[in-house]
Structure 1
Amino acid sequence: MTDKPWRDVIAVNELETNWVTRVEVGRKTIAVYDTPNGIYASLALCTHAGADLCDGYFDDHVIECPLHQGAFDVRDGKPVAAPATRPLQVLEVRVRDGMVQIRV
C-alpha cells in the first residue's frame, strides 16, 4: 500500500464524455480518459516521440498518438500499435464525491 496522497484533478461532469481530457497537475500534463469501463489517467506525452496524446484519437480504451499513430491501451499503458514500444506511465485513479482523483 502506498502512502502517496490523493489529489483532485477534475470534476467528473467536466470530462469529455467517452474522450480524453487534458488536465494540468503542477508541471505535468495528465490525460484523463473517460471509457465505457471507467476512468483512467496517464502522463500525456507519447513514449515514442513526446507528442501530446490529448490531441490524439481516442476510441473505447485505446489512445492513438497524433504524430505517428502509435497506440496505447489506457487501462495498463501497454503499447498496442507501432511505432510505440514503451508503455505509458499510467496513474492510479479513483472517483470521490464527484471528483476524479489521482495519486501524486
Structure 2
Amino acid sequence: MTGFREESELDRKTFFALPGADQLAPGDMMPIDLPGGRCIAVYNVEGTLYATDDRCSHGNASLADGDLEGFRIICPFHEGAFDIRDGSPAGYPCTVPVKSYAVVSQDGVTGLFIAEDEHDQD
C-alpha cells in the first residue's frame, strides 16, 4: 500500500443537478442553465435522458428550441441535425459536433458530470 490513491477521472469532474429533467415526458426537451454560463439541452427519448450543449455549433440557436426526431435534434436555425447520444453531426449544414453528456442519478438527483476545465466555458 502506497498511502495515496490514484486520481480518477471522476475526481476531476463536477456534478451539476438538472432540475426538472426527470419530469420530462418522452419526446420532450428543455434547456437548463448551469453555473458558469453553460446551457445544456436535455432530451427524453423513450424514457431515457440525454444531454448536449444547447448551442448549435453551426449557428447561434438553442437546440432545445428545435425538433426532436428519435435520437436526432433538428436545429431551428438552418435545420441541421445532431445525434443526441454522442453529439455527432447528423444533418447538413452541421459538421462540427456538439458536446454530449451522460445523464446520471446521484443520491436521487438527476444530473451530469462536467470536467473541471470545461464547466466555466460556453
Q: TM-score by structure 1 length?
A: 0.87
Cα distance, 1:98 vs structure 2: 4.7
Larger Rg: 2
Aligned-pair distance for 1:47?
A: 0.4
Sequence identity percentage: 32
Q: CA RMSD in A?
A: 1.8
Which runs of 5 or more structure 2 residues have no equivalent in the other structure? Answer: 1-8, 115-122
CA distance in 2, matches of 1:52, 1:81: 16
Q: Is the 8 A contact 1:21 1:31 kept in 2?
A: yes
Residue from 68, 78, 81 that aligns with 2:88: 78
Partner of 2:19: helix, strand, or coil?
strand
Q: Secondary structure at the match of 2:18?
A: strand
Unpaired segments ≥5 residues, structure 1: none
Task: Kindly provide the CA deviation profile for residues 2-51 of structure 1, in whole angstroms up to 9, marking residues without a partner as x.
Answer: 32132211244432432211111111211001112621111100000121
1:31 pairs, out of 22, 31, 41, with 41
| Matched residue, 1:2 | 10
User: Where do residues 87-98 of structure 1 align in structure 2 (5 Å cutoff)?
Assistant: 87-98=97-108
Task: Measure how far apart 1:66 and its partner are.
Answer: 0.2
Q: What amino acid does structure 1 have at the position aligned with 2:83?
A: D
Which structure shows the higher strand fraction? 1
Higher deviation after alignment, 3-12 or 80-89: 3-12
Does 2:61 match 1:20? no
- TM-score of the superposition, structure 2-length normalised? 0.76
